[in-house]
Amino acid sequence: MDSFTAQQASALTRCTPHQLRYWDKVDLVGPSIQSSDGRPGRRRLYSFRDLVALRVVKSLLDNGMSVQRVRRAWDYLRRTASMDEHLASVRLVTDGQTIFRIAQDEGELLDALRDGQLAFFVAINEITKSVEEDVTKFELDREHFLDMLRRVEDDVKSELEAIES
């Protein structure tokens, strides 16, 4: 199925028909295959990508984000996400005040409400992995150093025993 009617989109996204009409009217998320253009009797046809977008917008709104904030974030995503990029690969995070987009390399957190301004982002799992690697290297270096000291100590003891005998 290449397109979904407004009734199907409503059922699949759990959005009310009123929400779909309103979001289309205010140009938040509308049908990309065929719009009604305000003409009665003309079907709105949504793509799969539109359904995903509708669910994302509904989720953000249901979790307390204002329509204005969601619109700004969605406009930013539309401007910056390439058409080749699957919507499923876009990762959004919200703190209830703003909406952040995690960059594809996951090394950056971009504020979608401030036109992609870089936000402070700490990947604790990456820091943990780095510390573990450093600790492992330190332990190996320490063991190597202690082995070397033991060998030197054994050599010194052997030389002292040779001198004493």
- Neighbouring-strand partners of residue 119: 109
Domain boundaries, the chain: 4-120, 122-165
Beta strands, E only, 78-159: 91-94, 99-102, 109-111, 117-119
Q: What is the topology classification, in CATH, of domain 4-120?
A: Multidrug-efflux Transporter Regulator; Chain: A; Domain 2 (1.10.1660)
pLDDT digits (tens, 9 = 90+) for 43-83: 889 988 888 888 888 888 887 888 888 887 777 777 766 54
pLDDT digits (tens, 9 = 90+) for 123-165: 556 656 766 777 788 789 889 999 999 999 999 999 888 888 7
Please provide the distance, in angstroms rounded to a whole number, between the alpha carbons at the two ends of the chain.
95
Half-sphere exposure (Cβ direction) of 164: Cα atoms closer than 13 Å: 6
Calculate mean pLDDT across residues 1-7. 83
* pLDDT of the residue at 16: 95
Read off the pTM.
Answer: 0.56
Alpha-carbon torsion, ordered 31, 34, 37, 41, to 10 deg: -110
